[in-house]
Chains A and B, each alone.
Chain A
Amino acid sequence: MTELLLRNACVIDPLNRVNGDVMDIAIRDGWIVESVGNGAEVIDARGFLTLPGGIDSHTHICGTKVNFGRYMMPEDMRAGRTIRKGVMHATSGYSVPTTYGNSYRYSAMGYTSILEGAMAPLEARHTHEEFSATPLQDTMANTLFDGNWPVMEAVKEKDVKRAAAIVAWTLAAVKGFAVKLTNPGGTEAWGWGKNVTCIRDPVPHFEVTPAEIIETLIRANELLRLPHSVHLHCNNLGAPGNYQCTIGTFDLVPDLNKERQSLYATHVQFHAYGGTSWKDINSKAEPVAYSVNRKPQIVIDMGQMMFGKTTTMTADGPMEWNLYRLHHNKWSNHDVELETTSGIIPVYYSKKSLVNCVMWAIGLELALLVKDPWQCLLATDNPNGAPFVRYPEIIGLLMSKRYRDEEFRTIHPDTGKRVILDTLDRELGWHDIAVMTRAGQAKALGIAKIGKGHLGVGAEADIAVYPIRIRDTDPSRDYAAVVSAFQRTAWTIKRGRVVCRDGDVVVEGTNRTIWANSRVPEAFDMGRDPEFVKKFDRYYTVRMANYPVQDAYIPRSGCIESEAVL
């Protein structure tokens, strides 16, 4: 039995309606308890801001595509090298750090749970191997179904239950956490070098539309009672005028679940563009936020873009190709048979680029215009909008109008004509930030019930103590202090152990992989479905028996079980 008492913590714990109370937190064997004995180790938090461990509900940190980003960019690697020291491995990389680099840097920022935004099922083993080398955060993987042939065939047959059964089989086989749709239908079209422009374009050969795929899978997802909703990267990312497609997509979404949203729309910054070309691109954050404000069934994340060097990587292969033709730097693409695709290019977001300045403003506008912070979470689609190490600056910008104005003065002078950011006075508070970086994520992902994202008794003891006293700090004015506090915790506690102290990692750590297993009736077991098996064997290049991810890849399993209603 190990016990820890965190004293004098200034706690914000939105899920338990705690807002700035100074209290003690008792921890036993990794979980938060009522009280601990006198022998417990004591940490005096000195009145510092104490939050549940950070949760990133959409980031790219592990798997084929991420690793290819590292592989193709030795120049990014040398930009962020640290030496082997204490228990810390050497790390490399700035926008796509090594697994240890990701894990240490997230930990220094107080993050304890992260969700890989896109895992191709066929290559799931790879994601899990990298998870094992990401020791300080519990991990989850969004599983890609956007171009899944059996799913599209079920959609064409209007067979929601069959689609659900395919999802259930696949998630269990690959130890996936949630259903991810990246440019649904577009990734299959990309198999022929084509794309879909929005939700009503038919997918070549399969004769289904993105709208049908999205609607069917939202319903299937709820039949399976999965913890998280469908996680959608809308069609037509990054194209001027795409906000209409985004709003049209939101209009498809029924409200099916009282506990959480029915659709998580990710990196919406990239989907809220007005105009008809790069020449007249402008912000449509307002109508998009308006749509979100009217629909409790939708949660979005910002997909904030920050100026500087980074790497874009997504399952949206055709979009990356378009980006490559714009930037001409280097381009990787990886199509995955029967399932999906992906693309990678390095980018530099410049304050001299009006387009980039508009993008920067849109992300912030979304966070300021969506009224309920539970509906707009903080993320950069790491590393697409910016590497996650930029989160503290985003927090500063959201909390300080003055900081925004100062930044605004340094960017392209015409930006003001295209955006409304400079007219928005809202400044988010500490509680809003706590929601947008942990509580909201836990609720949206459906992992609050396994003890994530809060600090109540029974919660897993994942805690971040930031070296800042909120009563002595006016974030509007002292935004630099806010940014610096969020960059480096005083203590990051993971499962009841201090794992990071003042930015230095002090334990080797072992993570847990959280995945979803929805039990379906026997008649819906795709492993025994003759049609499914026949097509699998005919069109995949691996045998069905060799497809599922073995238990050896999940050293610490955090399976969330559910009973499907089929």
Chain B
Amino acid sequence: MLLKDVVCPYCACLCDDLDVTVEGNRVTGVDNACDLGAHKFQAGNRLPGPVRPTEKGWDRVSREEAIGFTVDMLLSADRPLIYGWSTTSVEAQSLGIHIAEEIGGVVDATTSVCHGPSILAIQEVGHPGCTLGQVKNRADVVIYWGCNPIEAHPRHLSRYTMYSDGFFLENAFKERTLIVADIRPTESANVADEFVHLKRGGDYAVLSALRAIVRGKTGSIPSHVAGVSRAQLLRIGEVCKNAKYGAFFFGMGLTQTVGKYKNIRNAIELVDELNRHTKWTLTPMRGHFNVYGFNEVCTWVTGYPYAVDFSRGMAFYNPGETTAVDILARKECDACLVVASDPAAHFPRAAVEHLAEIPVVQIDPVVNATTAFCDLQIPVAVTGIDAEGTAYRMDGVPIRAKKILDLGYPADSEILREVYQQIRDRKKVREVKPV
């Protein structure tokens, strides 16, 4: 059976034009997807049912026991951490946030090690953004700064920028100017019209210089700024000002380098400045499938996009203090629920060590590095393959991911709903009868 317009569950491009062939409840073909997406549809490796380690090996446990164990762990903790969320649905994320609220825990998402710094910057200066169709239909100048879409978001160039014709650009490849800024000539840099080769850690200074140049203050700019010549900076300033519509994309080359969110703030303020001359927008190249969905739902439920601490019964937010890596590195939490991510593979070593010292429950379809630290793992369906649900594209467009297989696994949201319900039952949360 050929299924059309399937939504890719891999990255936050959320390409929704995939043709997927399903035969015998198995994916046998994926068309239109990039290599990364196609692999995800065909990955096996699913855990058959809830398991926990014992002295003799890994034992299967029933779903009821598994949920009971999770509830006990969360209710007895003094500072539980609930972390993950990037590859599941908004519906599941919402439940996770409500669980944190109910138990007085900290809830954080993979955002904190991805575009968390972008959010901190946006909270200082705002975000001149757009949906990706604006870029596709209008942008004649595109900048990729500190990101390598060819390897990380392979269809970004063909769907939205370089190779994508739009309403106002009939021959995009010829009509668009592509600028790439990075500390090394990546695959993406190779296809650019202009490559800005920065020294490591030089982003902030170069962006500051560009802001001054766009403001017409070229006088005090030295001959080189972090490896970039003044002449090139002046040239880029002109290209940007003369654009009809410019689009600035950036990735972890800005969020993870020294200065962190201040780099992004500087990029945003450059785009603000350019809007005095022409139209510019800026978009973070978010990585995981639904990492932005977490930010959205966490915001409407708690007021903050990630890293929310409910230990006092109200939402407190302070990345750097209430973020997962910091909490684990400081060994602050005494239990951890991991959902739809793999912190053991993606956190610095010393942060992972603490996971070995506290009870950990993981809700995830596959055996991963975090499994090694689990006191219990509950396998679930993969959102976008055998469970449906809402996901937010990197630009904020919500799309409903489809269920194309039925492999008998519950969705994350089903497990989390049961956990939430049991916690509330145990805490006797009931509607109050008015007098």
A interface residues with partner B (beta carbon < 8 Å)? 62, 64, 67-68, 70-74, 77-78, 81-87, 89-93, 97-101, 122-123, 125-126, 129-130, 133, 149, 190-193, 205, 321, 324-325, 330-338, 341, 344-345, 491, 498, 501, 504, 506-508, 538-543, 545-546, 550, 552
Contacts and interface: CB of A to CB of B under 8 A. Distances in A.
Nearest to B424: A87
B281 interface: yes
Given A72-B126, A122-B131, A331-B128, A545 B434 contact: no
Nearest to A79: B303
Chain B contact residues (Cβ within 8 angstroms of A): what range? Answer: 35 or more
Contacts of A345: 126
Given A70-B299, A87-B430, A98-B303, 5 more contacts: A83-B314, A98-B302, A504-B432, A541-B159, A541-B160
Interface of B: 4-5, 7, 16-17, 90, 94, 98, 101-102, 119, 122-134, 136-138, 159-160, 166-168, 244-245, 272, 275-276, 278-279, 281, 295-297, 299-305, 310, 312-315, 317, 388, 390, 392, 396-400, 429-435
Most-contacted residue by chain A among B5, B302, B305 (CB, 10 A): B302
B303 A546 contact: no
Nearest to B119: A71
B127 A72 contact: yes
A78 B315 CA distance: 8
5 contacts: A62-B300, A83-B312, A92-B302, A133-B301, A491-B434
Contacts of B131: 122-123, 334-337, 541
A67 B300 contact: yes
B399 A92 contact: no
A399 B308 CA distance: 43
A524 to B, nearest CB: 24
A330 B124 CA distance: 7
B397 A77 contact: no
Give me the 10 closest cross-chain CB pairs, A-B, nearest first: A337-B133, A92-B303, A193-B279, A77-B303, A83-B313, A335-B130, A330-B126, A125-B398, A332-B126, A501-B434
Contact of B122 (A86, A89, A332, A508): A332
Contacts of A83: 312-314
Contact of A542 (B299, B317, B399): B399
A84 B314 contact: yes
A498 B431 CA distance: 11
Contacts of B301: 89, 98-100, 133
B130 A334 contact: yes
Given A89-B101, A321-B275, A541 B132 contact: yes
Contacts of B160: 541
A336 B302 CA distance: 26
Given A87-B429, A333-B129, A543-B17, A73 B123 contact: yes
A129 B137 contact: no
B305 A539 contact: no
B126 A98 contact: no
Contacts of A191: 134, 138, 245, 279
A78 B317 CA distance: 9
A543 B16 contact: yes
A336 B130 contact: yes
A71 B122 contact: yes
B166 to A, nearest CB: 7
Nearest to A89: B101
Contacts of A541: 131-133, 136, 159-160, 397
A99 B300 contact: yes
B275 A129 contact: no
A545 B101 CA distance: 36
A91 B304 CA distance: 11
Contact of B431 (A97, A133, A508): A508
A230 B398 CA distance: 26
B397 A506 contact: no
Given A74-B123, A344-B126, A543-B5, A92 B315 contact: yes
A97 B304 CA distance: 11
Contacts of A336: 130-131, 134
A266 to B, nearest CB: 23
Contact of B278 (A71, A129, A193): A193
Given A87-B432, A125-B398, A543-B5, A333 B300 contact: no
B128 A333 contact: yes
Contacts of B167: 149, 538-539
A130 B296 CA distance: 10
Most-contacted residue by chain B among A86, A190, A333 (CB, 10 A): A333
Nearest to B401: A546
A82 B397 CA distance: 30
Nearest to A132: B94
Nearest to B102: A84
A77 B137 contact: no
A333 B132 CA distance: 14
A545 B138 contact: no
Contacts of A205: 168
A122 B128 CA distance: 18
A546 B300 contact: no
A491 B128 CA distance: 43
B313 to A, nearest CB: 4
A112 to B, nearest CB: 16
Contacts of B16: 542-543, 546
Contacts of B388: 552
Given A92-B303, A330-B124, A506 B313 contact: no
B122 A507 contact: no
A81 B317 CA distance: 12
Nearest to A124: B398
Nearest to B271: A333
Nearest to B166: A539
B40 to A, nearest CB: 18
Nearest to B430: A87
Contact of B4 (A77, A78, A542, A545): A545
A133 B301 CA distance: 8
B158 to A, nearest CB: 12
B134 A90 contact: no
A364 B295 CA distance: 39
A64 B137 contact: no
Given A98-B300, A344-B126, A90 B313 contact: yes
Nearest to A542: B16
Contact of A90 (B314, B399, B435): B314
A74 B321 CA distance: 15
Contacts of B138: 191-192
